[in-house]
């Protein structure tokens, strides 16, 4: 329910500077607190806008996100964004594991402090989920590479295809560096443990998004390993990842499901287990709390442009080909053909009720089964924690949720040389929180290495 910018951006200051036409000074204010405004101004849900005081009187917020975007893109265009090469090196070596937003932020800050930073990335390109978890239309990959090139010019070293614990020995990394910052993300997707899960065509959403981005970057969108062109697609999960799947199905190529849908040939259905949020704030959800209202993101917007977005409840009064989201629904089983490929999803309605311990849990509604055609199923049901194999190899403790156990203020694990930041520590979250975590972990790592820190 928290609102307001986790990075503590000086929003009133840079707003006023933009108003007065002082763009470079506005950029300097933004640069004091935010490492990557070009990322957050594109993909952040704008916690800053939710916290705008105009919300207290029911007015629309200041468009902070749009102002931030305008500032950073003007700064790049004017050549104000320059490498930050430290005047003196400390002689300390730091390994950052993972090049997502937390890892990039930690690396940038530690390099500024004068440490020699090497970022180890298990994929073939930098960015973590920025690169392979967020579609190109939402975050152009050139934006990521532009920033990484600047970090390289600042002195940060990047090593790709370096899966620590697999391609690279974890103990060797620990022995050859003065400190290690783990920014490995929350990489274990939640599975659907139902009948038919092993059928061909049932994929984790992150695998689908990764395949689509790799095909796009290769220059041949039709070469993707998981192609939804002209097929019936069911997305299970109504969050940001599910929406990204919906948008990718639509935009993957000219021959994709959007064309088929406009020709009334194929459909895309999104199942959401939660109830449909209200259109406006409820009396118990007042400013400055996060508004628990219906969010219509770009994937749904494109679907709505074709057909009216479903507003069904558990009674299920809308036909199965309605677009795009179906609320209070979950999958009961997958049904395949003689070749072992998925062809149908059997979905059921759920009601949210208290169990014996008082928790609110989903309960299947008897007799509510419906069958939905499905040639591809994408599981977008969230993540369950980080890579436990690496933690075991390094002797790093995990908490009950499968995340790295490290205090919020210290960011230090049970191993004195190892720190943690981002989704691997706090669980699946937002890019802006990952940047905040990376900065904080860098500060504490610097304090550990030097006995003091000047990092913000």
Is residue 258 pLDDT above 50, yes or no? Answer: no
Please, what is the average pLDDT of the chain?
89
Rounded Cα distance between 175 and 195, Å, is 46
Is residue 262 pLDDT above 50, yes or no? Answer: no
DSSP 3-state percent helix, strand, coil across the chain (nearest 5): 35, 20, 45
Domains of the chain: residue spans and CATH: 11-78 (no CATH), 93-187+384-450 (3.50.50.60), 202-379 (3.50.50.60)
Is residue 365 pLDDT above 80, yes or no? Answer: yes
User: Residue 1: its pLDDT value, please?
Assistant: 63
Q: In what order do the strands lie in the sheet with 233-236?
A: 202-204, 376-379, 233-236, 268-272, 325-327
User: Residue 251: its pLDDT value, please?
Assistant: 57
DSSP letters, 208-247, are HHHHHHHHHHHT-GGG-SS--TTS-EEEE--SHHHHHHHH
CB crowding 349-378: b at 16 or more within 10 Å, else e: bbeeeeeeeeeeebeebeebeeebbbbbbb
When mean pLDDT is compared across 16-25, 54-63, 295-304, 365-374, the lowest value belongs to 295-304
Tens of pLDDT, residues 182-207:
999 999 999 999 999 999 999 999 99
User: Residue 323: its pLDDT value, please?
Assistant: 55
User: Residue 297: its pLDDT value, please?
Assistant: 86
User: Residue 216: its pLDDT value, please?
Assistant: 86
User: Residue 316: its pLDDT value, please?
Assistant: 44
Is residue 257 pLDDT above 70, yes or no? Answer: no
User: Residue 409: its pLDDT value, please?
Assistant: 85
- Name the residue with higher pLDDT: 340 or 248: 340
User: What pLDDT band is residue 268 in, cutting at 50, 70 and 90?
Assistant: confident
């Amino acid at each position: 329910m928290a609102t307001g910018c986790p990075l503590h951006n000086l929003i009133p200051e840079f707003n006023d500077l933009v108003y007065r036409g002082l763009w470079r000074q506005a950029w300097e204010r933004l640069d004091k607190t935010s490492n990557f405004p070009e990322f957050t101004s594109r993909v952040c849900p704008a916690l800053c806008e939710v916290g705008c005081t105009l919300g207290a009187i029911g007015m629309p917020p200041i468009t902070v996100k749009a102002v931030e975007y305008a500032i950073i893109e003007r700064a790049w265009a004017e050549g104000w964004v320059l490498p930050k090469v430290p005047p003196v090196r400390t002689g300390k070596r730091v390994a950052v594991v993972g090049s997502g937003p937390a890892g990039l932020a930690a690396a940038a800050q530690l390099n500024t402090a004068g440490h020699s930073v090497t970022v180890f990335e298990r994929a073939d390109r930098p960015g973590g989920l920025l690169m392979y978890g967020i579609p190109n239309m939402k975050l152009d990959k050139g934006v990521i590479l532009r920033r990484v090139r600047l970090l390289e010019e600042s002195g940060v070293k990047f090593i790709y295809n370096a899966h620590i614990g697999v391609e690279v020995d974890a103990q060797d990394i620990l022995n050859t560096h003065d400190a290690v910052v783990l920014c490995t993300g929350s990489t274990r997707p939640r599975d659907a443990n139902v009948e038919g899960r092993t059928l061909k065509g049932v994929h984790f959403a992150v695998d689908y998004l990764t395949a689509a981005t790799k095909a796009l970057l290769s220059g041949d969108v039709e070469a993707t390993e998981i192609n939804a062109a002209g097929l019936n697609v069911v997305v299970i999960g109504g969050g940001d990842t599910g929406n990204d799947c919906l948008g990718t199905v639509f935009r993957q190529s000219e021959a994709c499901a959007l064309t088929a849908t406009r020709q009334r040939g194929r459909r895309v259905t999104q199942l959401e287990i939660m109830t449909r949020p209200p259109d406006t704030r409820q009396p118990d959800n007042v400013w400055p709390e996060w508004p628990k209202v219906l969010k219509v993101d770009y994937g749904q917007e494109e679907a709505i442009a074709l057909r009216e977005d479903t507003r069904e409840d558990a009674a299920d009064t809308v036909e199965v080909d309605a677009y795009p989201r179906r609320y209070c629904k979950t999958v009961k089983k997958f049904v395949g053909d003689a070749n072992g490929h998925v062809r149908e999803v059997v979905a059921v309605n759920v009601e949210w009720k208290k169990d014996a311990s008082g928790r609110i849990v989903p309960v299947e509604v008897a007799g509510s089964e419906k069958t939905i055609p499905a040639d591809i199923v994408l599981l977008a049901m969230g993540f369950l924690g980080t890579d436990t194999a690496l933690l075991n190899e390094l002797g790093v403790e995990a908490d009950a949720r499968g995340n790295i156990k490290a205090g919020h203020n210290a960011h230090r694990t049970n191993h004195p040389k190892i720190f943690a930041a981002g989704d691997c520590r706090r669980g699946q979250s937002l890019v802006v929180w990952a940047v905040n975590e990376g900065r904080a972990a860098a500060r504490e790592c610097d304090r550990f290495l030097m006995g003091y820190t000047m990092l913000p």
